[in-house]
Amino acid sequence: MKSNRRRLAVLGSTGSIGRQTLDVVRAYPDRFAVVALTARGNVDLLAEQAREFQPSLTVLTGGDPAALQRLRDALPETLATTSGLEGLTTAATLPDVDMVVAATSGLVGVLPTIAAIRAGKTIALANKETLVMAGHLVMAEAKRAGVAVLPVDSEHNALWQCLRGEDPATVRRLLITASGGPFLRLPLARMREMTPDQALNHPTWRMGPKVTIDSATLMNKGLEVIEAHWLYDMPYERIAVVVHPQSIIHSMVEYVDDSIKMQASIPNMHLPIQYALSYPERLDRAGTALALPLRWDEVAKLEFESADMERFPCLRLAYEAGVMGGSAPAALVGADETAVDLFLRGTIRLTDIALIVGETLQRHNIIASPGVEEVGAVSAWAQEEARRIAERLAGASLPPAGAER
């Protein structure tokens, strides 16, 4: 019965999080229904998903008329299709949507997320940039509208599970775990020799190239610290990063009585997605295609150590940008995006990423409380600035931004 099912708009349904969200829907067809699906350019997968889940709206945001025509040709006439970025907001605010899964990559997720909040939709948030760059805007809107922003990212989801039922005033610290990435034990002196292939070889998680490099530099963990600051209204000095190479404990909360609560599971994104989708219920996974119980007798050891900010300066820079506040995180994200892209192209060294991001932050004139457009402008400025710094470091002009890798 459709009326008893939670009705979802999945923004970015063809991506890693989007596809895994649909796995959860597939596992619980009596609990969830899909009302809208969006992708940027992956027509074939979007059409396949639309045929399976029968949303009332399918959106292709890429703006390519031929691709839109291909989508229309591929879909039954009963499905509405639209294109362009405004389609994301249309999908996020449809009257029969209960929950918006914000799983696009990049800053493009911010406006539709804010529109969905204003329309009273619950948000299951995967999109990192939305909170890192525009956390002040998104959380203020959510507070005003009385809407919940539920984290999909495994670390924030773990914190949420540990915080549930507790008095926030009794929380001493949030402890975000980090696998440490492929270079956890590598001496600083050898970091600069690491190639993109070596950096892409993440020990526990399979993800896209940008986030995998961010995991190798611990920038990703720094972005998660900023997200945690906004989600849980926690000052930066009370958010710590703990390296935990096994990635079994996804984060921890330390309380004033010295208790530490941890959330453990096999590293896999289906669980945090499912938890956000079904909240406040926990759904039984036994017998579903998602079942993945953690066997304690197979966990040989759980190790924890402090994060080394000297060997991983990107983590320090993210903390600094968070404390600076205002538009500084947008500058951090913009500069990092360019620097990671140039590293993946083999233009700069791994260790140049932190140099470029640090210098860009130094040159940035912080805007105290930027609007969405200013956030976008700062991020674009930082990308350009990072490029100029990289050209100086490389001693040569670089191929145009956006060129094929």
CB neighbours of 12 closer than 8 A, spacing ≥ 6? 18, 38, 39, 40, 101, 102, 103, 104, 105, 109, 126, 127
Find the binder of ligand NAP among 24, 47, 97, 108 (CB under 6 A).
108
Of all residues in the shown chain, the one whose CB is closest to ligand NAP is: 15
Choose, by CB under 6 A, the member of 21, 49, 81, 127 that binds ligand NAP.
127
Kindly state the smallest distance separating residue 128's Cβ from ligand NAP, in Å: 4
Q: Which is nearer to ligand NAP, 15 or 196 (CB)?
A: 15
Under rule CB under 6 A, residue 351 binds ligand NAP: no
The DSSP-derived string for 243-282 is: E-TT--EEEEEEETTS-EEEEE--S-THHHHHHHHHTTS-
The answer for residues whose C-beta is within 8 angstroms of residue 208's C-beta and 6 or more apart is: 16, 105
Residue 16 binds ligand NAP (CB under 6 A): yes
Q: Which stretch binds ligand NAP (CB under 6 A): 89-97, 121-129, 249-257, 366-374?
A: 121-129
Q: Which of 81, 104, 161, 351 binds ligand NAP (CB under 6 A)?
A: 104
Q: Cβ 220 to ligand NAP, closest distance in Å?
A: 8
- Residue 376 in contact with ligand NAP, rule: CB under 6 A: no
Q: Does 336 bind ligand NAP (CB under 6 A)?
A: no
Binding residue for ligand NAP (CB under 6 A) from 65, 120, 208, 399? 208
**269 is a site residue for ligand NAP (CB under 6 A):** yes
Cβ pair 207, 294 in contact under 8 A: no
Nearest distance in Å: CB 193, ligand NAP:
27
**Nearest alpha carbon to residue 68 among 100, 86, 101, 46:** 46
Task: Return the DSSP state at 399.
Answer: P
DSSP-assigned letter for residue 36: E
Binding residue count for ligand NAP, defined by CB under 6 A:
26
